[in-house]
């Protein structure tokens, strides 16, 4: 099926060039073959031979083909393609001939040519417009002799069509460059809306930032080769920059590991202090205190005044659900209790994730992405998205959740309209109580309460909000 973009007008003008000598192509091809046999012979090139000799050896530098396919309809509508393995001469569209150097690739449909790779020299007899489409821009003539060289990674491994040049979507087009040299007549080159007309003996670079300045063929080719070399050097600089980033990431990981080690040490110190406090309390030295996240209705009332929410959630990372014998011993449990704890954590995870996941999908809009984010990070995603929508409403959700936990507002039903952040906080603030109730079935209520609030258990503590105090809702 024909792409409708192929028929879009290009808005390019053409004109009748000065007719080249009728035997120009034959002279150029003869010169190409002669130079192939004279690689070791001295090259005393006179000015009279500069355009023809140099054009065939350097600026001609254009793509040749051993793989050649042609659809033989009337010659003016002939279709075909050529992929260069060695220097090859082909006829295009009935009125053009091309010399292709190894590595080049062309496709044609009548007088429309797509040159995806390499170097090609064209000899076009006078007639209607003849176009060459490249990853870097377009060349348009009516009858002339010219050469096109393509360099850059943007054209490698790409199935290029005429519409790719028009729409500018061909992969890597921004890195592709083309060199156009004119030997007879006139040629129009264009890229990204910029156009330049070249006459005999002139050349220009096309691609990247647009159409470059015109220059004599010899000087223009040297500048083109220098630019390609400069691009290769910039790739080396980018590789070094990437290596530096890898080193930086490694350093950050080392720092993170040090912080984790420090956290473990602080937790040990905290446990020791708690044990000393518990011993002192048992001797009547001080009144017994409850855990920071073992919150009463009075605690929730104070949190509501501050617009604050606190909670403890049983561990959501599956790797930490199985306790070692030493860990069980510290908790005062037997080895066979490991299975009971693991099963309780698994049920807790399912309860939390089944409720938080729909809120996260509502915020992100993609279930697959949500599953990759996971239960631990989804609450932050929900909060950030809702804050971006309405920051004040998200803050108010802290107070509403705290007031509900304090008994100052009624508990909403599953179908009641509630702000997503409030709904999320209600899920998370009830997670540890549900976990405790589950443990009570195996260990009894007192032991379950001790375990649910023990710092030797796997859990996550969070504290959201805060700020100016306010009176709770009546």
Residue 359 belongs to some domain of the structure: yes
The confidence band for 419, taking pLDDT boundaries of 50, 70 and 90, is very high
What CATH number is associated with residue 107?
Answer: 2.60.120.1440
Q: Is residue 243 part of a domain?
A: no
Which has the minimum average pLDDT: 237-241, 264-268, 353-357? 237-241
Bridge partners of residue 80, in order along the sequence: 70, 108
**DSSP class per residue in 398-409:** HHHHHHHHTTSS
Report DSSP letters for 123-134, one per residue.
Answer: EE-SSS-EEEEE
Provide the pLDDT confidence category of residue 398 given band limits of 50, 70 and 90: confident
Q: What pLDDT is attached to residue 291?
A: 74
Do the domain assignments include residue 270? no
Q: Does residue 324 share a domain with residue 208?
A: no
* C-alpha separations of 469 from 288, 300, 302, 303 in Å: 28, 13, 9, 9
Together in a domain, 64 and 152: yes
Residue 153: what pLDDT? 45
Average pLDDT value for residue range 117-125: 91
pLDDT reported for residue 212: 80
Same domain, 27 and 148: yes
Residues 449 and 337 occupy one common structural domain: yes
Mean pLDDT value across residues 384-408: 90
Assign 236 to helix, strand or coil: helix
- From CA 436, how far away is CA 430, in angstroms rounded? 10
Greater confidence (239 vs 108) lies with: 108
pLDDT category of residue 255 using cuts at 50, 70 and 90: confident
pLDDT at residue 248, rounded to an integer: 81
Q: Give residue 34's pLDDT.
A: 55
Between 224 and 71, the higher pLDDT residue: 224
C-alpha torsion 354→357→361→363, nearest 10:
130
Q: Is residue 195 domain-shared with residue 297, that is, in the same domain?
A: no
Tokens representing 109 are 């449909």
**Which of residues 184, 213, 242 is at a domain's end?**
213
**Residue 257 belongs to a domain:** no
Lowest mean pLDDT among 95-109, 203-217, 308-322: 203-217
Dihedral pair phi/psi, residue 265, rounded to 5°: -65, -40
In a domain, 386, yes or no: yes
Mean pLDDT value of segment 263-282: 78
pLDDT digits (tens, 9 = 90+) for 294-353: 888 898 999 889 889 999 999 988 888 889 999 999 999 999 999 999 999 999 999 999
Higher pLDDT among residues 185 and 30, named by residue: 185
- 322 and 446 both lie in a single domain: yes
* Residues contacting 27, CB < 8 A, separation 6+: 21, 52
Among 188, 213, 238, the domain boundary falls at 213
- 189 and 298 co-located in one domain: no
* pLDDT of 252 higher than 60: yes
Residue 177, domain extent: 4-213
Res 230: pLDDT = 62
Rounded mean pLDDT of 437-450? 93
Range 427-453 average pLDDT: 93
Domain membership flag for residue 256 = no
- CA nearest 115: which of 143, 96, 95? 96
Q: What is the pLDDT of residue 84?
A: 87
Helix H, strand E, coil C: the string for 296-340 is: CHHHHHHHHHHCEEEEEEECCCHHHCCCCHHHHHHCCCCCCHHHH
Name the least confident of 96-110, 121-135, 262-276.
Answer: 262-276
Tell me, what's the pLDDT at 177? 83
Return the percentage of the chain with pLDDT > 90, whole number. 32
Q: Output the pLDDT for position 445.
A: 92
Across residues 62-68, what is the average pLDDT?
36
In the block, tokens 């065939």 appear at: 56
Check whether residue 192 and residue 303 sit in a common domain.
no
> What is the number of other CB atoms lying within 10 angstroms of the CB of residue 141?
27
DSSP 259-281: HHHHHHHHHHHHHHHHHHHHHHH
Worst-scoring range by mean pLDDT, 207-221, 277-291, 296-310, 323-337?
277-291
Is 196 in the same domain as 295? Answer: no
Residue 269 lies inside a defined structural domain of this protein: no
pLDDT in tens, 163-202: 443 333 333 334 578 889 998 888 999 887 888 999 988 9
Number of domains in the chain: 2
Instruction: Kindly list the distances between the CA atom of residue 76 and the CA atoms of 10, 111, 123, 130, in Å, as whole numbers in the listed order.
Output: 21, 8, 15, 11
Tokens (6 digits) for 389: 């929508």
Contacts for 333 with CB less than 8 Å, ≥ 6 apart: 323, 341
Choose the final residue of a domain: 213, 245, 267. Answer: 213
User: How far apart, in whole angstroms, are the C-alpha atoms of residue 212 and residue 189?
Assistant: 10
**Looking at the predicted structure, is the pLDDT value of residue 75 above 70?**
no
Cross-strand bridge partners of residue 69? 81
Of the ranges 16-25, 43-52, 120-129, which is most confident? Answer: 120-129
Same domain? 201 vs 308: no
Write down the pLDDT at residue 13: 36
- Measured CA to CA, the distance from residue 260 to residue 254 in angstroms comes to 10
Are residues 12 and 116 both part of a single domain? yes
Q: Are 208 and 294 contained in the same domain?
A: no
E-assigned strand segments in 104-219: 105-109, 112-117, 119-124, 130-134, 137-141, 144-151, 177-184, 186-191, 194-199, 202-207, 210-211, 215-216
Q: What is the pLDDT of residues 124-159, one digit of tens each?
A: 988 888 999 998 888 998 778 888 988 764 444 334
The more confidently predicted of residues 245 and 162 is 245
- Is the separation of the CB atoms in 135 and 154 below 8 Å? yes
Distance, first Cα to last Cα, the chain? 70
Q: Which residue has the higher pLDDT, 231 or 361?
A: 361
Does residue 356 belong to any structural domain of this protein?
yes
């Amino acid at each position: 099926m024909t792409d409708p973009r192929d028929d879009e007008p290009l808005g390019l003008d053409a004109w009748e060039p000065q007719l080249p000598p009728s035997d120009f192509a034959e002279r150029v091809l003869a010169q190409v073959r002669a130079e192939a046999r004279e690689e070791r012979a001295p090259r005393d090139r006179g000015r009279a031979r500069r355009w023809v000799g140099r054009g065939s050896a350097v600026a001609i530098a254009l793509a040749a083909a051993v793989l050649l396919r042609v659809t033989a309809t009337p010659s003016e509508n002939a279709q075909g393609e050529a992929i260069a393995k060695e220097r090859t001469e082909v006829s295009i569209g009935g009125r053009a001939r091309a010399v292709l150097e190894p590595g080049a690739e062309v496709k044609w449909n009548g007088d429309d040519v797509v040159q995806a790779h390499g170097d090609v020299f064209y000899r076009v007899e006078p007639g209607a417009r003849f176009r060459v489409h490249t990853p870097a821009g377009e060349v348009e003539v009516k009858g002339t002799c010219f050469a096109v060289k393509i360099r850059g990674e943007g054209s490698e491994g790409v199935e290029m069509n005429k519409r790719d040049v028009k729409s500018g979507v061909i992969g890597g087009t921004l890195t592709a460059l083309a060199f156009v040299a004119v030997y007879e007549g006139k040629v129009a080159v264009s890229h990204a809306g910029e156009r330049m007309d070249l006459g005999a003996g002139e050349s220009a670079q096309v691609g990247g930032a647009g159409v470059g300045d015109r220059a004599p063929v010899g000087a223009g080719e040297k500048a083109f080769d220098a630019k390609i070399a400069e691009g290769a050097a910039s790739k080396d600089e980018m590789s070094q920059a990437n290596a530096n980033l890898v080193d930086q990431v490694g350093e950050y990981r080392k720092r993170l590991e040090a912080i984790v080690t420090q956290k473990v040490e602080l937790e040990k110190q905290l446990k020791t202090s708690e044990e000393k406090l518990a011993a002192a309390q048992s001797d009547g030295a001080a009144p017994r205190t409850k855990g920071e996240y073992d919150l009463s209705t009075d605690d929730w009332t104070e949190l509501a005044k501050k617009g604050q929410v606190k909670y403890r959630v049983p561990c959501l990372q599956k790797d930490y659900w199985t306790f070692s014998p030493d860990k069980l011993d510290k908790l005062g449990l037997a080895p066979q209790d490991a299975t009971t704890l693991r099963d309780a954590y698994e049920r807790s995870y399912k309860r939390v994730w089944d409720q938080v996941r729909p809120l996260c999908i509502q915020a992100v809009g993609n279930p697959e992405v949500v599953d990759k984010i996971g239960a631990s990070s989804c609450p932050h995603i929900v909060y950030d998205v809702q804050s971006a929508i309405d920051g004040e409403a998200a803050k108010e959700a802290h107070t509403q959740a705290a007031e509900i936990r304090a008994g100052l507002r009624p508990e909403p039903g599953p179908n009641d309209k509630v702000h997503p952040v409030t709904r999320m906080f209600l899920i998370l603030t009830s997670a540890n109580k549900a976990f405790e109730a589950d443990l009570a079935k195996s260990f009894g209520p007192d032991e379950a309460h001790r375990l649910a609030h023990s710092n030797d258990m796997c859990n996550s503590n969070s504290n959201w909000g805060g700020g100016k105090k306010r009176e709770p809702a009546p």
